[in-house]
Structure 1
Amino acid sequence: MLRASPLTQSIGASPVSTALAREGHPISVVEFDELPADSSHRLEIEDGRLLVMNRPAGPHIKAAQRLVSHLNDQLPDELEAMLEFQAELVGASPRRIPDVVVCGADACDQVRVRAEQILLAIEIVSPGESAARDYIKKPAEYAANGIPNTWVIDIQENPLSLTVYTLDDTGQYHFTSPMTGRYTGAIGGHEVTIDLDALTGPRRKRN
């Protein structure tokens, strides 16, 4: 039986991750940043505890990849959309991994992106995930960190829906009703249009 206390243990000379054994256990940022890479799970800190999630698969990956491609086709060279770029936040959940972030292109070579560098954080809701986390908890954290916009794209819905969260002068998000079809909005002052129906299903040629 794996012990929950160490970050790693050794079998012979090979270190193995005990991240799964530490699921839900308190963890500091220093301890978290020293965890071995885990290609089969997505690791975050939530309310001071280690959160271990299965990596996205299937339609979730397709939607995220297409979204990044659509955004980067429209964004200026100084901005870039990135998949699963670890975010450095302040508060009880200091390590999060949005499905997509838009930030300055100069931040893309960093190990993680700081909250003040993020113009847009995007969460994709898919079956088997916590919708409450994506719709409520993470947006509240992103607002508290001053991230100007968050999108929540729900691929469980038919048709797909998008909820847009925008930071107001009080530091709180106000959000739209779920939208379907095509959405046009600004990211860092640059207008983009996303066809939500094109994020899943057969690939389409774009005009």
Structure 2
Amino acid sequence: MTAEPISDRGTRWPVPPPNGYTVDDLFTLPDLPPHTELIDGSLVFVSPQRDFHTIMMDLLVDGLRRAAPEKLKVRREMAVVLDRRNVPEPDVSVVRAEAVTGRTLTRYQAADVVLAVEVVSPDSAARDRDAKPGKYAAAGIPYFWLVDVAGADDHPVVRVYELDPVTRSYVISGIHRDQLKTNVPYPIDIDISQDALDRL
């Protein structure tokens, strides 16, 4: 551990080391809140989620699992080690089956991840739209989905991105509003309409 906690009115907060936290710190610091992420050496704590966020994750996990080939597994809210200073927790990930080595696993390596999905929340919008896609692309994750809301009725919109191996950046390959139908990373057809959300 590279940081010593300080106490202020009964709350203990870790003091960051001079060069920021590393992946080792993230997994050894005691008493961190669930779903803490490491972004550019800083700890990021998750705020309470909106109902849309939860049901959209449920809808995507169910649809992805129904269609997944045996060589791939679908996971939600698992840490992904991109490098020493970046360990985000995608809302949904599709990982290679051989990377699932046991029930006590706490993280995956970027090379294990085929698809990372972020469902935008108000408190994490900048990270979800700007910071994380660039980091996922630089780490070589082939596919990225960004799930947001649009319009007066806040209907879901899923933007599907594919990695350009030359530029190591994502290029958009589709925008889906009522039906998420794509062939990457495998054939997927998920009803993402308001009716589908209302049924959950």
**TM category, shorter:** 0.7 to 0.9
Partner residue, 1:88 = 81
Partner residue, 1:160 = 156
Partner residue, 1:99 = 91
Structure 1 pair 105/17, CA: closer, same or farther in 2 (3 Å)? farther
| AA in 1 matched with 2:178 | G
Partner residue, 1:43 = 36
Partner residue, 1:181 = 178
Partner residue, 1:196 = 192
State the secondary structure of the residue aligned to 1:54.
coil
- Deviates most, 23-32 or 177-186: 23-32
Percent identity at matched positions? 27
| AA in 2 matched with 1:29 | V
Match of 1:149 among 132, 143, 149: 143
Structure 1 pair 130/177, CA: closer, same or farther in 2 (3 Å)? farther
Query: How many residue pairs are counted as aligned between the two chains?
Result: 188
The gaps in structure 2 that reach 5 residues or longer are: none
State the secondary structure of the residue aligned to 1:160.
strand
Structure 1 pair 76/130, CA: closer, same or farther in 2 (3 Å)? same
Does the 8 A contact of 2:161 with 2:171 survive in 1?
yes
After superposing on structure 2, the runs of 4+ consecutive aligned residues of structure 1 that deviate more than 6 Å are none
Q: What is the distance in 1 between the residues matched to 2:158 and 2:25?
A: 35
Matched, 1:54 2:47: yes
Does the 8 A contact of 1:102 with 1:119 survive in 2?
yes
Q: What is the distance in 1 between the residues matched to 2:61 and 2:163?
A: 22
State the secondary structure of the residue aligned to 1:162.
strand
- Deviates most, 51-60 or 100-109: 51-60
Matched, 1:33 2:27: yes
The gaps in structure 1 that reach 5 residues or longer are: 10-15
Q: TM-score scaled to structure 2, two decimals?
A: 0.81
Q: What is the distance in 1 between the residues matched to 2:196 and 2:37?
A: 26
Does the 8 A contact of 1:41 with 1:54 survive in 2?
no
Measured against aligned partners, the alpha-carbon deviations of 1:68-88 in whole angstroms (never above 9, x if no partner) come to: 111101111221110101101
Structure 1 residue 6: deviation in Å?
Answer: 1.7
Structure 1 residue 164: deviation in Å?
Answer: 1.2
RMSD of aligned C-alpha atoms? 2.7
Structure 1 pair 65/77, CA: closer, same or farther in 2 (3 Å)? same
Match of 2:4 among 3, 6, 21: 6
Structure 1 pair 103/80, CA: closer, same or farther in 2 (3 Å)? same
Q: TM-score scaled to structure 1, two decimals?
A: 0.78
| AA in 2 matched with 1:116 | A
